[in-house]
């Protein structure tokens, strides 16, 4: 088993009365991609920004290769930041429209004082070539001259130019067309192998997560309710919410009837006043009195498969 690169323990993010993230913990090991999935508003992006210290979390611990980020300040935090980079959801708005691609991608190198102008230009050229952009055409253009997919490639180049240990992808393909999504996902997969990247991949699209992630953690209303290997989670979901998410994924085959999404309510409760006990109980068809009284712990039901549920779905019996 490889060493952990990112360790998150007891992470809490609150914006005034809004409890965006409530005491979650997970580990991402070297060379691994962990998917973080859930409905809009469940706290995925808040988790990503708290890991980046943008802003700092309300509570908990975030360690990058054993070094605590939540207490790091000034020069110490600046020295750690190049090792942890992020790709944002909207590729166009994440790029400065007044700067050229050369200025955008070389900016991180300038901030940390790396090399001279010629060496920085060389690093930018190498990064652009790695993400499939022609430097001769791209270097002196500005973001509005590129498509959404090309802008996301520029964002990836900007992140990779610092040779980070950890890359956080906050829904990097949700704003792109389906055909372009496939190109960016293939690029990320290639970059992971080339640079030995460790990634946290955030998405609400479970079909996307299945193809790129080694493990998946499912979030609901600021909590992690299930975590398992990608194949295991998709084959044998044990939490009712995970099963409902998987049932909602569109099936491209018209001959296959979709599995009904069996929830008692379609409304996500307010993060200002979340339900007592299990937060999913107000929508769960299996909820009982204990679900309102006691919050279920995230327990390991099988090797590498953790579930927070008083009445988890039984794993199917092995065929004889």
In the predicted structure, residue 109 carries a pLDDT above the cut 90? yes
Token pair recorded at residue 218: 């499912």
Domains and CATH numbers, the chain: 4-213 (3.40.50.300)
Burial track 38-57 (b if 16+ CB lie within 10 A, e otherwise): bbebbbbbbbbbbbbbeebb
pLDDT category of residue 233 using cuts at 50, 70 and 90: very high
pLDDT, tens digit, 9 for 90 and up, residues 265-278: 777 888 899 999 99
Average pLDDT over residues 297-319: 85
Mean pLDDT, range 21-30, rounded to an integer: 95
> What is the structure's pLDDT at 210?
84
Query: Token pair 């190049």 is at which residue?
Result: 82
The tens digit of pLDDT for each residue in 244-259 reads 888 877 776 677 776 6
Q: How confident is the model at residue 246, as a pLDDT? A: 87
Residues paired with residue 27 on neighbouring β-strands, in sequence order = 7
Tokens 């990779």: give the residue: 160
Give 186 or 49, the one with higher predicted confidence: 49
Beta bridge partners of 14: 19
| pLDDT of amino acid 217 | 96
User: Tens digit of pLDDT for each residue in 183-211?
Assistant: 888 888 888 888 888 999 998 888 788 88
């Amino acid at each position: 088993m490889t060493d952990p690169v990112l360790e998150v323990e007891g992470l809490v993010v609150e914006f005034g009365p809004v409890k965006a993230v409530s005491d979650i913990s997970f580990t991402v090991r070297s060379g691994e991609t962990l998917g973080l999935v859930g409905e809009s508003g469940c706290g995925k992006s808040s988790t990503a920004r708290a890991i980046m210290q943008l802003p700092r979390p309300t509570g908990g611990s975030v360690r990058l290769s054993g070094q605590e980020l939540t207490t790091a300040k000034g020069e110490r935090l600046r020295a750690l930041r190049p090792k942890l980079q992020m790709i944002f959801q909207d590729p166009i708005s994440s790029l400065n429209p007044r700067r050229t691609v050369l200025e955008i991608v070389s900016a991180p190198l300038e901030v940390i004082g790396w090399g001279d102008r010629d060496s920085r230009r060389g690093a930018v050229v190498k990064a652009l070539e790695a993400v499939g952009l022609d430097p001769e055409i791209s270097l002196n253009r500005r973001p509005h001259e590129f498509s959404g997919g090309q802008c996301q490639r520029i964002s990836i180049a900007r992140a990779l130019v610092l040779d980070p240990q950890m890359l956080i992808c906050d829904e990097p393909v949700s704003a792109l067309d389906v055909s372009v999504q496939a190109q960016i996902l293939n690029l990320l997969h290639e970059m992971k192998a080339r640079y030995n990247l460790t990634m946290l991949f955030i998405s609400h699209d479970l079909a996307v997560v299945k193809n790129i992630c080694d493990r998946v953690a499912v979030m609901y209303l600021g909590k992690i309710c299930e975590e398992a290997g990608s194949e295991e989670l998709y084959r044998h979901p044990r939490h009712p919410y995970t099963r409902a998410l998987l049932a909602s994924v569109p099936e491209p085959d018209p001959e296959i009837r979709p599995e009904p999404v069996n929830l008692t309510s379609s409304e996500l409760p307010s993060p200002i006043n979340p339900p007592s006990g299990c937060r999913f109980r107000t929508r769960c068809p299996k909820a009982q009195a204990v679900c309102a009284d006691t919050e279920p712990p995230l327990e390991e039901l099988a090797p590498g498969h953790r579930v927070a549920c008083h009445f988890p779905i039984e794993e199917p019996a092995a065929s004889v």
